[in-house]
Structure 1
């Protein structure tokens, strides 16, 4: 609890794929250094520290292996550890280093730590490296795959006729909705249309789905029955969330719906996910909002809650223009 030595040593080992390299049988520090193009003395000192804290083992022949704890660092582990958060070559692992700016953020209250660390925003940085963008979409899609069936079954999507998934990433949610509702049509709008286009093709729904490259911080194409905002509201500050919901409201018009699909923090009887909340702060300058806080932001742009439905551990919040606005 008192130093950064162990967590950074673990991150270096994961980034160098040390757990994978020694999982099938031990290797010496010299062999690992040659395989990872690193300094053998420095690498051995890192590995010896991980031995001292119970992550690795070292036998009398100098061969390093994994302990039960070390096994959790393998990509295909069945534990709660997500190696993507530890690998400094991944977009999430890189973003985690922004936490060194936490003292600045707690003093200022408005510093975006990622920008301070890297000189650019998380989203702009993501756009510079296609492989990082693909990886980020995959990470987001994994969480959605676990819930898409419940989301599709918990709301009458077909009654909307057509939906626009605003910031829909690689199209996992929309593809699931279209498979479950044969007459529904849909569009994904995100920074890059290609990943969603591939998802729709693989899912066999290309005849009813399309993907457009664009930004939800700009006006959206009007006329759809519903505008879906899923796992976006926590990624942005209040001003940006108002902008996103406002663009959705404008595009939906008087007859359309704005549908927020998310997991909300601090609901009655639920535990706030403090780790995710701090990540939203440090990566994007956002926050894990309560349902009431989203209600307030929606009201600021003339939207009110029409219905709430549970979908597994998430909530589907249907919004429509406030009468009289």
Structure 2
């Protein structure tokens, strides 16, 4: 077999990825991390067919993920150890678990041929009959994991984000889709006079984060959708790591609600890592996941600017914060429409 053929086969292989996902879903790594077990013992613990499970495990041995000694005991290689703990953000075991929303989302890639023919299809919804977000809302453990993954990326950058913009001048901010409050905690800790509110599908994680950080007197959260009107009256409405998770129509809706709530005097602030401009290599894996999971895309700064312009927002300033950008937008929309007041949300 020629080298080019061998590489193409490796690149197109589904056997190894699915075998890894099955092993993670069955918690095989945890069961053998403290000492090897035979396929028969593992099958008994996982209620699986011994013969089939052994064939899966033997393939993972050949792939360099597992080991097998002369006594038939399976163990973990250095690569296999990555199925136990997150590896510098590159591998998260829960992401591979087919019992979680994130794990199931990967199987939506089997719908890629349909999406290629009809770009309006959202693969996850077509695969499971419901949206990723609705599924996430039904599964608390997956929702917690999702927030943790989002927060992990934010924690690396929150200090520089807090220092790269005069957040304190806004007086108060609403973190739209702020998850467990990681960004807002960082902003409030860096700017003593600032107040803030998180709006997300579940207010509980953010409320607990504010309490743990001693910020309950300056921060609050409530459960709501940013596809609905937002509470008006804050100096700034922050949108971070959201623009890539939605289609163009929904991004316009989200930015439009921010613009309405901010009014003529407020600011809409997009904090994100934008896709590379034309002709520069971008994160193609993430871009395709956005497409398949949500019908979204990794957008360039110009694409976000155009969507913002569609709802009457224009760019006032751009600031770098680590490898992200803070895009400050303003509106001449005038009167505020919809939502309860921010002060009511805070207190």
Name the TM-score, length of structure 1 as normaliser.
0.96
Give the SS at the match of 2:34.
Answer: coil
> Mind listing any 5+ residue stretches in structure 1 that lack a counterpart?
none
Match in the other structure for 1:108: 118
Distance in 1 between residues matched to 2:88 and 2:242, nearest whole Å? 28
* Aligned-residue offset at 1:33: 1.3
Distance in 2 between residues matched to 1:79 and 1:303, nearest whole Å? 34
Note if 1:81 corresponds to 2:87: no
Note if 1:251 corresponds to 2:261: yes
Name the TM-score, length of structure 2 as normaliser.
0.90
Distance in 2 between residues matched to 1:125 and 1:8, nearest whole Å? 22
Task: For residues 64-119 of structure 1, give each alpha carbon's deviation from its aligned partner in whole angstroms, at most 9, with x where no partner exists.
Answer: 11223222222154583222321112221111111111111001111000001110
- Of 91, 95, 111, the residue aligned with 2:105 is 95
Note if 1:39 corresponds to 2:73: no
Question: Residues 260 and 333 of structure 2 are in contact (CA less than 8 Å); yes or no, is this contact kept in structure 1?
Answer: no
Distance in 1 between residues matched to 2:155 and 2:108, nearest whole Å? 28
- Of 292, 314, 328, the residue aligned with 1:318 is 328
Give the SS at the match of 1:179.
Answer: helix
Distance in 1 between residues matched to 2:61 and 2:279, nearest whole Å? 41
Q: CA RMSD in A?
A: 1.8
Match in the other structure for 2:345: none
Task: For residues 264-300 of structure 1, give each alpha carbon's deviation from its aligned partner in whole angstroms, at most 9, with x where no partner exists.
Answer: 0014896411111000000000000000000000000
* Aligned-residue offset at 1:23: 2.1
Distance in 1 between residues matched to 2:136 and 2:164, nearest whole Å? 33
* Aligned-residue offset at 1:3: 3.0
* Aligned-residue offset at 1:162: 0.2
Task: For residues 179-224 of structure 1, give each alpha carbon's deviation from its aligned partner in whole angstroms, at most 9, with x where no partner exists.
Answer: 1111100010111111110111011100000101111111111110
Distance in 2 between residues matched to 1:60 and 1:323, nearest whole Å? 74
- Of 69, 87, 90, the residue aligned with 1:59 is 69
> Mind listing any 5+ residue stretches in structure 2 that lack a counterpart?
1-10, 335-347
Match in the other structure for 1:278: 288
Distance in 1 between residues matched to 2:172 and 2:89, nearest whole Å? 39
Q: Write out the 4+ residue segments of structure 1 that deviate beyond 3 Å after TM superposition.
A: 76-80, 267-271
